Amino acid sequence: MKKLLPTSSAGSLPKPLWLAEPETLWSPWKLEGDALHDGKCDALRIALQEQQQAGIDIVSDGEQTRQHFVTTFIEHLNGVDFEKRETVRIRNRYDASVPTVVGPVSRTKPVFVEDAKFLRQQTTKPIKWALPGPMTMIDTLYDAHYKNREALAFEFAKILNEEAKELEAAGVDIIQFDEPAFNVFFDEVNQWGIAALERAIEGLKCETAVHICYGYGIKANTDWKQTLGSEWRQYEEIFPKLQQSSIDIISLECHNSRVPLELLELVRGKKVMVGAIDVANHAIETPEEVAATLRKALQFVDADKLYPCTNCGMAPLPRQVARGKLAALAAGAQLVREELVRKELVRGELAG
């Protein structure tokens, strides 16, 4: 029988001090050439070992080989000039200097496939691999070529599909697309965002997930959250259409968040990665706090479809905090798992 409530993290984990400056996004590498390649592999091994030691069931690379969840993928593509930068507003929230799309975009060689093969060799557990989603990719660039958000998103979706197929062949069990932009551009999500995502997963046989969150615990995001009021109903705008999509799993932020969990009813039938760990503070949750969030989610998600997870990536956190949070996630999930098994036993006895 498949394990109930399999745990995983949303994606990134902190990098070791010797590889990159800790507690920073876009932190430059501290190594070069072959030493950098070996260093990334070693960091990936450590990230895996820490997840396994914490008791995480579906493991990942902790994004140890990338500087940033969107830009590292784009750096490997043709058609984007990283020297030519323009300032744009990202997710309607903060200004950033971003690279420019100067011509047709294409992928000349695999981006993460070797890393995924390496991870596959290191573990027999199910593995999840994160890729940026098409809408979040276009939102991180200045487009001087297509001059059309939808057209560029579909070009990226085609490229993501090529990469995803090779990741699947490398033995990845779940391919996840990170789409924080889905929480901002509701009209576009419904008009073409979900369709672009469908293009990215076309023909895949492995499971697919979309991660939609309120972002890393960086200041621009926590300030934005202050403006969202007492109830965060963003998911309500996009869930009906996502429920109809062919995406298997939806990964969401639920812990310490003002998202009314009854919104999960709108995606009934999908598997849900329920964020039960806050990534915006350094306090390590108790297993009981994690369990409380999971129990609430169980009112709206069938037990066999609930996947306990973190709210978002943990790259900006101190390493010991991230380790503690992973262990709390596993321990909290175990509490609820035992409750479910006990209930099932009681039900079995009553039936027998």
* Site of interaction with Zn ion (CB under 5 A): 213, 312
CB of 309 to Zn ion, least distance (A): 10
Identify which of residues 200 and 312 has a Cβ nearer to Zn ion in the complex. 312
Amino acid at 324: G
3-state secondary structure of 14: coil
CB of 126 to Zn ion, least distance (A): 20
Identify which of residues 79 and 133 has a Cβ nearer to Zn ion in the complex. 133
Residue 130 near residue 160, CB atoms below 8 Å = no
CB of 148 to Zn ion, least distance (A): 26
CB of 313 to Zn ion, least distance (A): 6
Identify which of residues 13 and 101 has a Cβ nearer to Zn ion in the complex. 13
Instruction: List beta partners, residue 252.
Output: 212, 274
Interaxial angle between packed helices 149-169 and 113-122, expressed in degrees from 0 to 180 and rounded to the nearest 10: 40
CB of 9 to Zn ion, least distance (A): 10
What is the torsion angle, in degrees rounded to the nearest 10, for the CA atoms of residue 316, residue 322, residue 326 and residue 327?
-170
CB of 99 to Zn ion, least distance (A): 21
Identify which of residues 98 and 213 has a Cβ nearer to Zn ion in the complex. 213
CA 59 to chain centre: 12
In angstroms, the CA 186 to CA 130 distance is 22
Identify which of residues 170 and 194 has a Cβ nearer to Zn ion in the complex. 194
Identify which of residues 79 and 308 has a Cβ nearer to Zn ion in the complex. 308
Q: How many helices (H) and strands (E) does the chain have?
A: 11, 9
Residue 216 near residue 240, CB atoms below 8 Å = no
Residues in CB range of 183: below 8 A, 6 or more apart: 91, 212, 213, 214, 234, 235, 238
